[in-house]
C-alpha cells in the first residue's frame, strides 16, 4: 500500500492514503473517540471516507443519453453491473502538497465514454473540523455530465443517534437502484427526530435535505455539512458504522427527467463540491 499521510492539530488526528484518495481514519483527540471507522486501505472502500467522482452511486444500465448520443459507462473492478461511485476511489492520486494539517491530492483520468478530467482533492484540519474540497475540471473535446460527492463511514454504536431533515426519499429497488420517490418516510428511515433507527440494511437517497446531518454520541456530537439537496444513507446489519453520503445528485440522476444535480461541463469548465465534518 502507498505510504499514508498523517495529519494532526490540537483537536483531530487523521490518516490519508493516496490510493483512492481515501481517509483511513479520523479521531477526536478531545474525546479520545473515532469519528470515522478505521480501515487499512487494503481493498476499495476499506477506509473511513472516500471521494466519489465523476459520478455518485449507480446509473441504470450503466449508461445514459446525452444530446441524443448513447453514453456507455466504463466497467468497474468494484462492481459487476455499474461504474459504481466512479473511479476516483479506485486509483492512485498524486500528492501535490502536504503539511501537518492539510494535504492536496491530484488525479488525471480519461475514459472512452467522454469522462476526461483533472481532479484536485483537499483535506484540511481546521480547528475541530475536517474540511474537504473536491474540484474537477473537464478536459475533453466534447461536453460531458459530471457529479460526485464523498462517502464517509461514520463510527456508530447502539448508543448513537442520527438526526437530519428531508422532504422525502427514494426507496431501494432491484440492483440497489431507486424506486419511485415518496414523501412517506417509514419510521426506520425517518430521522427528523434523533433516533438510532432499525439495525437492518438501509440503502436510500433523500431529497430536500437541508445540508446538515448530526450524529449524537454519548459524549460527542458529529455534524456533517454540505451545500447539496441530496443525502445517501447506507447501513448494514450489526456493523459499527453508518454512511451519510452528501452527493451532488440523486441515485440514477443521469436517467431521470431533467437529470437533476448533474452538471454539463464544457471543455475546461470546472465543478466544485465541499463538505465539512465538525466534532463537538
In tens, the pLDDT along 19-48 reads 999 999 999 999 999 999 999 999 999 999
What residue has cell string 436517467?
A: 255
Please give the pLDDT value at position 236: 96
Question: Right CATH number for 5-279 from 1.10.287.130, 2.70.98.10, 3.40.50.300, 3.30.530.20?
Answer: 2.70.98.10
Half-sphere exposure of residue 98: CA atoms within 13 angstroms, side-chain side: 13
All cell numbers assigned to 231: 443525502
Tell me the Ramachandran region of residue 100: left when phi exceeds 0, alpha when psi lies from -120 to 50, beta otherwise: alpha
Distance, in Å, from the CA atom of 184 to the CA atom of 205, rounded to the nearest integer, reads 13
Mean pLDDT over each residue of the chain, to the nearest integer: 97
Please give the pLDDT value at position 2: 55
pTM of the model: 0.97
Q: Judge contact between 143 and 127, C-beta under 8 A.
A: no
Q: Where are the domains of the chain?
A: 5-279
Please give the pLDDT value at position 1: 46
Count helices and strands (H / E) in the chain.
0, 23
Q: Judge contact between 242 and 162, C-beta under 8 A.
A: yes
Residues of the chain with pLDDT under 50: 1
Amino acid at each position: 500500500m502507498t505510504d499514508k499521510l498523517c495529519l494532526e492539530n490540537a483537536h483531530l488526528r487523521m490518516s490519508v492514503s493516496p490510493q483512492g484518495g481515501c481517509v483511513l481514519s479520523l479521531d477526536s483527540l478531545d474525546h479520545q473517540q473515532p469519528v470515522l471507522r478505521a480501515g487499512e486501505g487494503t481493498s476499495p472502500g476499506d477506509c473511513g471516507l472516500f471521494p466519489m467522482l465523476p459520478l455518485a452511486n449507480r446509473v441504470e444500465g450503466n449508461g445514459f443519453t446525452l444530446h441524443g448520443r448513447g453514453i456507455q459507462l466504463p466497467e468497474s473492478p468494484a462492481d459487476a453491473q455499474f461504474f459504481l461511485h466512479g473511479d476516483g476511489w479506485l486509483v492512485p492520486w498524486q500528492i501535490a502538497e502536504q503539511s501537518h494539517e492539510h494535504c492536496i491530492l491530484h488525479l488525471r483520468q480519461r475514459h472512452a465514454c467522454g469522462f476526461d478530467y483533472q481532479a484536485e482533492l483537499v483535506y484540511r484540519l481546521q480547528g475541530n473540523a475536517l474540511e474537504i474540497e473536491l474540484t474537477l475540471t473537464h478536459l475533453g473535446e466534447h461536453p460531458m455530465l459530471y457529479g460526485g460527492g464523498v462517502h464517509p463511514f461514520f463510527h456508530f454504536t447502539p448508543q448513537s443517534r442520527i438526526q437530519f431533515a428531508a422532504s422525502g426519499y427514494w426507496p431501494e429497488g432491484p440492483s440497489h437502484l431507486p424506486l419511485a420517490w415518496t414523501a412517506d418516510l417509514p419510521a426506520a428511515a425517518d430521522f427528523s427526530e434523533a433516533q438510532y433507527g432499525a439495525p437492518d440494511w438501509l440503502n436510500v437517497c433523500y431529497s430536500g435535505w437541508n445540508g446538515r446531518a448530526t450524529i449524537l454520541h454519548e459524549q460527542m456530537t458529529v455534524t456533517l455539512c454540505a451545500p447539496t439537496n441530496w443525502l445517501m444513507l447506507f447501513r448494514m446489519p450489526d456493523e459499527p458504522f453508518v454512511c451519510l453520503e452528501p452527493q451532488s445528485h440523486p441515485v440514477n440522476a443521469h436517467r431521470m427527467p431533467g437529470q437533476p444535480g448533474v452538471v454539463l461541463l464544457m471543455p475546461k469548465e470546472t465543478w466544485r463540491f465541499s463538505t465539512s465534518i465538525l466534532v463537538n
